[in-house]
Amino acid sequence: MTSRTFQFRLRSSQGGPELTSQSVELERLSEEGDWQPQNPSLSTPPFRLHLIALLLCLHVHLISEARERQIPLQQVLADLSVTVSNSWDLEAVVAAFQLRLDPGASAEARAHASDEAIGAMRQRMQHSPVPRNRPAAVPMTLTIALQN
């Protein structure tokens, strides 16, 4: 085995006057190829906890930036793929986030999700604690897209 890839996906719903997360669902792709719900606990394998922390850290910083900019998020979908060597060293991190805006929000509110705002989200996420502490040689690809 030369490398191994771990895949996670996250779905969160936002809303209310404070634009907070109402629910967060986290799943991991098993070796058998099915998506399994993740409910981290003290019995969760530590490396899996590390990868979950990476995804949750990115998500929290995305949501925080969106809230500060008053972006009316309805839902966030995220996919995380992490490749490791046979000695468990990180080799690559790919995170893709899709944002769905609240269709009931005004055009003015929806306009807060500008290219500049998305760029600021990406910056904040890249410099958040968990992603920032990966080895410098490990590339991280981070994409954020708006869904129609």
Q: What is the full per-residue pLDDT of the chain (148 aa) written as tens digits?
A: 689 999 999 999 997 767 677 899 999 999 999 999 999 999 999 999 999 999 999 999 999 999 999 999 999 999 999 999 999 999 999 999 999 999 999 999 999 999 999 999 999 999 999 989 999 899 999 999 999 6
The CATH number for 43's domain is 3.30.300.20
Cα–Cα distance, 60 to 63 (Å, whole number): 5
pLDDT at position 141 is: 97
Cα–Cα distance, 55 to 8 (Å, whole number): 8
Q: What is the DSSP letter of 31?
A: T
pTM above 0.75, yes or no: yes
Cα–Cα distance, 148 to 145 (Å, whole number): 10
pLDDT at position 22 is: 82
Cα–Cα distance, 94 to 27 (Å, whole number): 16
**What is the pairing mode between strands 90-101 and 140-147?**
parallel
pLDDT at position 15 is: 78
pLDDT at position 19 is: 67
- Number of domain units in the chain: 1
pLDDT at position 1 is: 61
Give me the domain span that covers residue 94: 3-147
> What residues have CB less than 8 Å from 86, skipping those under 6 apart?
1, 2, 3, 4
